[in-house]
Amino acid sequence: MPTVDPACLACQTNVNQADEDGNTPLHAAAYFDASGQPPLFYACEAGHSEAVAAMLDAGAAATYLDPEQRTLLHWASVGGHTAVCQALLTSQQLDINARDGSGRTALHNAAYAEHPELVELLLQHQADPNAQDEQGISAMHWAASRQSSGVVQALIDHNAFINHTEYHPERLTPLDYAAMTGNNEVRVGLWDVAGAGLSRELHRFVECSGLLVL
């Protein structure tokens, strides 16, 4: 982690002095940009876990929301920054199940980005495995569509429901997604859990596509 030159601290330099764009040295240390986001945002997005921890310890607010209502945890999750998420989860200010403007949680992002260890971390901190976004998509939908067997297994281990339906007319489930990808490991894993509860829609899809049910 970069350090501050002791000579700067010893002099009378105002370390909070902002430039004409409103950026302070702390902004530059995290990730320089003139768009107005706080330094903690850039550190989370870039995966600088030590900087995130230092800023949180110094009292930085972890409640930032971007224009799409995404939290710092949303941004760190989609980047797969497990250590950053671990640091953020120490803050009492965070709602792990906060939803962005599309109804997605950080768990949705981690599942979409195929990060099993991060998915496990979020679930251990009480992330809702069954949250559905505004289109009815759950983390399990994303895991199945991305053919991520590790994420699927983590969700199954935390009692994620595998038969949520989209809110679209097709009403596809994660089981349907798995069948369409053709990934046997994910498909069979979900079918093992589903057992006799396989949807009639999936049976029809299997029959029409000629797939072999194991």
CATH number for the domain harbouring residue 26: 1.25.40.20
* Calpha distance 108→127 (Å, rounded): 10
Of 20-24, 63-67, 191-195, the one with minimum mean pLDDT is 191-195
| Residue 21 belongs to some domain of the structure | yes
Q: What's the pTM?
A: 0.74
Mutual angle of helices 149-157 and 116-124, in 10-degree steps: 10
**Cβ-contact 97, 127 below 8 angstroms:** yes
| Residue 157 belongs to some domain of the structure | no
Structural domain boundaries enclosing 86? 1-94
Q: 132 — phi, psi (to 5°)?
A: -115, 140
- 102-117 residue pLDDT tens: 999 999 999 999 999 9
Q: How many domains does the chain fold into?
A: 1
Mean pLDDT of 90-100: 94
pLDDT at residue number 4: 45
| Residue 152 belongs to some domain of the structure | no
| Residue 59 belongs to some domain of the structure | yes
The tokens for 141 are 């939908």
* Calpha distance 138→129 (Å, rounded): 8
| Residue 16 belongs to some domain of the structure | yes
The tokens for 166 are 């989209």
| Residue 113 belongs to some domain of the structure | no
Q: Which amino acid is at 78?
A: V
| Residue 29's pLDDT band (cuts 50, 70, 90) | low
More confident: 212 or 79: 79
End-to-end CA, the chain: 51
| Residue 128 belongs to some domain of the structure | no
pLDDT at residue number 76: 97
Q: Which amino acid is at 15?
A: V
| Residue 12 belongs to some domain of the structure | yes
